[in-house]
Each structure stands twice: as structure tokens, then as C-alpha cells.
């Protein structure tokens, strides 16, 4: 009903921000994939709260527990169960929200949808829910790497009005992880950090843009008409909390160009079909072209402000409200590994569908 994603490589997540923990069940992962707890934990450590002065002060180790489906570091082909306990929930900070709708949050709409809600930290609407996605994404990342050598990278391109200058072709994970902002332009990252810290000190928040790129994809992923790869990726990435828009290739700037300036001629390069400039972002007609897939995803400013705002109670009475609790003043730095996880989940699922027509290819990749 909205807690599951994927077709062959399918995940179902569960848990609330202030419940016992978060978790995910993964169905459809082939047997024989080598994956360790350390590899999963690496991705969770990148997403976990309390990393720096510009993230929430909530201290969660986000230590993954493998419950099923993996033995001696190898997948069994059965359902994989992963659990991430909550250990630093302070629900009392949200007692005043039981009868109050926070501005720009999901409080009112969850009530409209279900007739009740978990007011503790936003429940399922909290960004904390994405920990389960990142855990599953770590397995999808390994599967994608084994099957075709592809890997997604996501990084902060801008925060508020502060942009960066970086050659997307040269971005590395090491450069992304070199600072708390996750911007590979180290000079811009310092300015961004200060801007977020200033907004936090003022009780305010900032938004930003994450760029993403996937190298090593084969041509042919994606299906017409409704399951174009751009449509599936958009579904996945726009399900991340606080997202506002997505673009592939040149994105919105393509709408201001002439066709003669935007079209990519096809050429033969090193024995394969290629384009000189890849303006389309690695996708033609909703199917991967074999070029790098790239795009951008925008995020709104965090909705929780430590400033006086006007809102309504659940009885629809006007009230003045000032937030409490622990929140990110900008979600973008911690969103980069979430974006990567969702890209890996989509692409692993697509690649399994692509490979199912050639089972031998799949078996050879996993079992040598």
C-alpha cells in the first residue's frame, strides 16, 4: 500500500521515527551475492544523524542487524531482513503536537488520510524512515556492481543561493565525503557550511540541489511506455522527503534551447554507440543509452523552524507555534546517500529484469 517498492528486487520498509526501530524486507535478491554487514553499515554511517554541527543533534548509531537471508556473508536467495533499532528517541519533545498541525508538515494530511497519526517526530513521515532504504540500497549497490560494474554517486551541488563549480566527470566518493556538506567543491563547501550554521543559529532552515551521476550502465534499461527509466527513477527519488523537482540531462534548461542545439548526434566510439555531449543525460526514449545517466534533484528548506509561526490545532483553532526537538537545518547533506540508495534500488531491479532473459549471464556474474 505504499510501503513497498520495486518489481523483482522488491523492498518493504517499516518503522517510525520514535518507535522501536526501522527495518526492511528485501525480496528477489539472487542467491550467491557476497555482502557483509560492514558494507551495509558504511552506507548507514553516511546517512546517520548527529554527524556534524549542521545536522540534527539526535545521536543514533544506526547499527544494522541482519535478521535473515544472509549466511556467512553470502545471500541465500530468500527474504533478507534488516533491522535498525532506535536508541535516542526523545518523544516528550513532541507531546504538544498530539493536537496540533505543524506548518508544511504531514500532520494534517496524515489525519485527513488515516484519521489518526503518530505525532512523535512525524512517525512514518519523518526522514528517519529513509535509514531502511539506505540499508537495502547497500545490497542493491553491491548487486549492481557485480552484474555490470555500475555505481551511482550523488553530491551537493548548491545550498540556498550558494553554487559550486565541479566537473561531474571527475567527482569521486572521496571528494564528496571530504566535508560535512558533501560538496566536492571544497571551497564552496566551506561557504555552504557557514550558511547552514547561520540559518540554524537563527532558528531557520535552507534547501538545496543534489546532482547525481551513474557510470557503467548498459544500453537497454527501461521499458516503454509507462515504465521509462526516467519515470521509475523520478518515482523513487521524489519519494524521498522534502524533494521538490527533478531533471535529467540538461533538465529545465533544455526548454530554452533550439532542437539544433539540444540534439545529440550518434557516433561510434570504441566500438559502441555514443554521443559527443550526452545532453540527454544517458536516456533516449526512456531507455538507457549506455552513456552516463545524470540529473539533479531539488530539496525544499526543512519545514521545522525554531521561530514563531501560525498554524491550526486538530480542532481547527488558530494558534501560535514554535518548534521543539532536534532537526536538520538543511536536509541536503544527509540526503546524498539516500539519493544513491534509491538509484541503486531502481537500477538493480531494472538490471535483474534485463538479465532475466539471459539467466546464464546472471548466474555467471554471481557464481563466476
Structure confidence at residue 142 (pLDDT): 98
pLDDT, residue 363, reads 62
Kindly tell me if the per-residue pLDDT of 184 is higher than 70: yes
Report the mean per-residue pLDDT for the chain: 92
**230-270 pLDDT per residue, tens:** 999 999 999 999 999 999 999 999 999 999 999 999 999 98
pLDDT of the residue at 39:
98
> Please, are residues 276 and 166 in contact by the beta-carbon 8 Å criterion?
no
Kindly report, residue by residue over 304-325, the tens digit of the pLDDT: 898 999 999 999 999 998 887 7
Q: What is the predicted pLDDT for the residue at 321?
A: 86
Rounded CA gap, 268 and 286, in Å? 21
- Three cell numbers written together for 68: 535473515
Q: Is the pLDDT of residue 368 over 90?
A: no
pLDDT tens, residue by residue, 44-86: 999 998 888 898 877 888 999 999 999 999 999 999 999 999 8
pTM of this structure: 0.94
Task: In whole angstroms, give the CA distance from residue 204 to residue 4.
Answer: 33
Enclosing H/E stretch for 347:
helix 332-355
Q: What does the pLDDT look like over 132-183, one tens digit per residue?
A: 999 999 999 999 999 999 999 999 999 999 999 999 999 999 999 999 999 9
Instruction: Please give the residue range of the domain that contains residue 26.
Output: 4-367
pLDDT at 360: 60
Are 210 and 299 within 8 A, CB to CB?
Answer: yes
Give the pLDDT score at 14. 96
Torsion 97-101-104-107 (CA) sign: positive
Question: Which range, 24-33, 57-66, 116-125, 310-319, has the best average confidence (pLDDT)?
Answer: 24-33
* Proportion of the chain above pLDDT 70, given as a percent: 94
pLDDT at 17: 84
Report the pLDDT value the prediction gives residue 211, as an integer from 0 to 100: 98
| CATH code, domain carrying 139 | 3.60.150.10
pLDDT recorded at residue 97? 78
Residue 287's pLDDT is what? 96
Q: Out of 45-54, 286-295, 299-308, which region has the weakest mean confidence (pLDDT)?
A: 45-54
Specify the range with the lowest mean pLDDT, choosing from 3-7, 94-98, 187-191.
Answer: 94-98
In this structure, what are the phi and psi dihedrals at residue 162, rounded to the nearest 5 degrees? -100, 110
Confidence of residue 361 (pLDDT cuts 50, 70, 90): low
What total number of domains does the chain contain? 1
Q: What does R_g of the chain's alpha carbons equal in angstroms? A: 21
Amino acid at each position: 500500500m505504499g510501503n513497498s517498492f520495486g518489481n523483482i528486487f522488491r523492498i518493504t520498509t517499516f518503522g517510525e521515527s520514535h518507535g522501536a526501530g526501522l527495518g526492511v524486507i528485501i525480496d528477489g535478491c539472487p542467491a550467491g551475492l557476497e555482502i557483509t554487514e560492514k558494507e551495509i553499515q558504511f552506507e548507514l554511517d553516511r546517512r546517520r544523524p548527529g554527524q556534524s554541527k549542521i545536522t540534527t543533534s539526535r545521536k543514533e548509531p544506526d547499527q544494522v542487524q541482519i535478521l535473515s537471508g544472509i549466511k556467512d556473508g553470502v545471500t541465500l536467495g530468500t527474504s533478507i531482513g534488516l533491522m535498525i533499532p532506535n536508541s535516542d528517541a526523545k518523544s516528550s519533545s513532541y507531546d504538544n503536537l498530539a493536537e496540533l498541525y505543524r506548518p508544511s508538515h504531514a500532520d494534517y494530511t496524515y489525519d485527513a488520510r488515516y484519521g489518526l497519526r503518530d505525532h512523535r517526530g512525524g512517525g512514518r513521515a519523518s526522514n528517519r524512515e529513509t535509514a531502511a532504504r539506505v540499508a537495502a540500497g547497500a545490497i542493491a549497490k553491491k548487486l549492481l556492481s557485480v552484474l555490470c560494474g555500475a555505481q551511482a554517486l550523488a553530491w551537493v551541488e548548491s545550498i540556498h543561493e550558494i553554487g559550486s563549480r565541479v566537473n561531474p566527470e571527475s567527482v569521486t566518493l572521496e571528494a564528496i565525503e571530504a566535508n560535512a556538506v558533501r560538496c566536492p567543491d571544497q571551497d564552496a563547501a566551506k561557504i555552504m557550511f557557514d550558511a547552514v550554521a547561520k540559518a540554524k543559529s537563527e532558528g531557520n532552515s535552507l534547501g538545496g540541489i543534489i546532482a547525481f551521476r551513474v557510470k557503467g550502465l548498459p544500453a537497454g534499461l527501461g521499458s516503454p511506455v509507462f515504465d521509462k527509466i526516467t519515470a521509475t527513477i523520478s518515482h523513487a527519488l521524489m519519494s524521498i522527503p522534502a524533494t521538490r523537482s527533478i531533471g535529467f540531462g540538461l533538465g529545465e534548461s533544455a526548454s530554452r534551447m533550439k532542437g539544433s542545439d539540444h540534439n545529440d548526434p550518434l557516433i561510434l566510439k570504441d566500438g559502441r554507440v555514443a554521443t559527443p555531449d550526452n545532453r540527454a543525460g544517458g536516456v533516449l526514449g526512456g531507455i538507457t543509452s549506455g552513456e552516463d545517466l545524470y540529473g539533479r534533484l531539488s530539496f525544499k528548506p526543512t519545514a521545522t523552524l525554531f521561530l514563531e509561526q501560525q498554524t491550526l490545532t486538530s480542532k481547527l483553532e488558530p494558534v501560535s507555534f514554535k518548534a521543539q526537538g532536534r532537526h536538520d537545518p538543511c536536509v541536503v547533506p544527509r540526503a546524498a546517500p539516500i539519493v544513491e540508495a534509491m538509484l541503486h534500488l531502481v537500477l538493480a531491479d531494472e538490471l535483474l529484469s534485463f538479465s532475466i532473459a539471459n539467466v546464464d549471464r546472471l548466474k555467471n556474474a554471481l557464481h563466476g
